[in-house]
Amino acid sequence: MSATKTARVVGIDYLRAFFSVCVVAVHLGYISPSTIFDQDEYASHTFTWSDFVNFYVLCLAVPVFVVISTYLYALKPTDGRGLARRLGRILRLLIFWSVAYQIFFYTGYGFPKQIPHDAQGIALYLLTGGNTVYYFFVSLAVVTAVTHYARDLPGGAVWALFALTTLVVGVLPLVHRQTGVIFPGLHANPLNFLPLAFAGLGLARLTQAQATRTLDLIGWAALALGAACAVLDWTVYVDPCFFEVNRFALPAYTRPSLVFLAVAVLVLAIRARPPENPVIAFMAYHSLAVYCLHPFFVPVRYKMAQVLHLSGAAEVLAALPVVLALSYGASIVLPFFLRDEVLR
């Protein structure tokens, strides 16, 4: 069990390190956007290497972080008080960083003017963390609570619920397209990540039982299903309605392909047993801080593009190491002024 535990921790460090970089790349504007980003030319789009990078590597980051969280939560015995502490910390992260971001970008206390006045607008504003990247913490709170209350379910029921909620994720884009209602196609919809609560719980049980063969089978099956479901992304789901909620004619996270691929990636991390690496350990330790801090440095991209006359993929690729360096630097310095609870 000790070998499995060591591999699990080190493997997850690699995921945190790699996908924290992917999150920054997404918010810098994706890598070499294709015509799927163009409202006038999306219909003539053909799949390119950049689509693979954007939609199956970069977009995989948030689902992977969600399933890591549910997996690790399910591994530890936790009672109601433990859940309350966990949800309290997530809520603190949500409020602190979403408010700090809006104060920073909307000139001090001018940010309340951004709050909608109608009920639907307020609901979407809260769900999206004030229209910020910190919507992640809203979804994380929901899936954490679901993971907690599903702990006592039999194994068969857990995987049945995983299948059912994944099916729901597959239907949501069609509901959005048919009805025009924003919520089903919204990237911040917690239902996008609900299957990962059951996946994390199921994988944690298999890890504790040292059922390595079953873990391997699930990993390969998830990879195959993810590849199969990716066909839906470029056939059934391509539609201009998604420009209302995304920068491209596809749903961002409302895709079963990402659910299955996130499961496959986590199984790989659990089973691969990679070597420990101090750089990876550093990046993993600061991954949450990088997530919270990097939005404040994203404008660097536009300054660099203007000064260096960059365009296309070069804008993102040149800015990425700079924004990462600034984020890591801030994550080292800020603990002198802020509590660790909002950085680690």
pTM: 0.92
Q: Is pLDDT at 266 greater than 70 in this prediction?
A: yes
Task: Report the candidate in 152, 191, 157 with the shortest Cα–Cα distance to residue 171.
Answer: 191
The answer on pLDDT for 33 being more than 80 is: no
Per-residue pLDDT at 138 exceeds 50: yes
Residue 2: pLDDT band by 50, 70, 90 thresholds? very low
pLDDT at 124 over 90: no
- Residue numbers of the domain that contains 229: 2-342
- The tokens of 127 are what? 């769900």
Number of CB atoms found within 10 A of residue 188's CB: 23
pLDDT band at residue 255 using 50, 70 and 90 as cut-offs: very high
pLDDT of the residue at 104:
85
Using pLDDT thresholds of 50, 70 and 90, give the confidence band for residue 126: confident
pLDDT of residue 1: 34
Q: For the chain, what is the domain count?
A: 1
Amino acid letter for position 113 = K
Asked if the model's pLDDT at residue 79 lies above 80, the reply is: yes
Confidence at residue 5, expressed as pLDDT on a 0 to 100 scale: 41
Identity of the residue numbered 216:
D
Mean pLDDT is highest, among 111-115, 139-143, 340-344, for 139-143
| pLDDT at res. 256 | 97
Question: Alpha-carbon distance 257 to 56, whole Å?
Answer: 9
Structure token digits, residue 203: 């994988």
| Triad 220, 161, 260: Cα angle to 5° | 30
Mean pLDDT of the chain: 90
For the segment 273-281, the average pLDDT, to the nearest whole number, is: 92
Task: Note whether 181 and 130 are within 8 A (CB).
Answer: no
Residue 6 has pLDDT above 60, yes or no: no
DSSP character string of 273-336: -PPP-HHHHHHHHTHHHHHHHGGGGTTHHHHHHHHHT--THHHHHHHHHHHHHHHHHHHHHGGG
Angstrom distance (rounded) from CA 201 to CA 71: 6
Q: How many CB atoms lie within 10 A of CB 293?
A: 22
* Exposure string for 26-55, b = 16+ CB within 10 A, e = fewer: bbbbbbbbbbbbbeeebeebeeeebbebbb
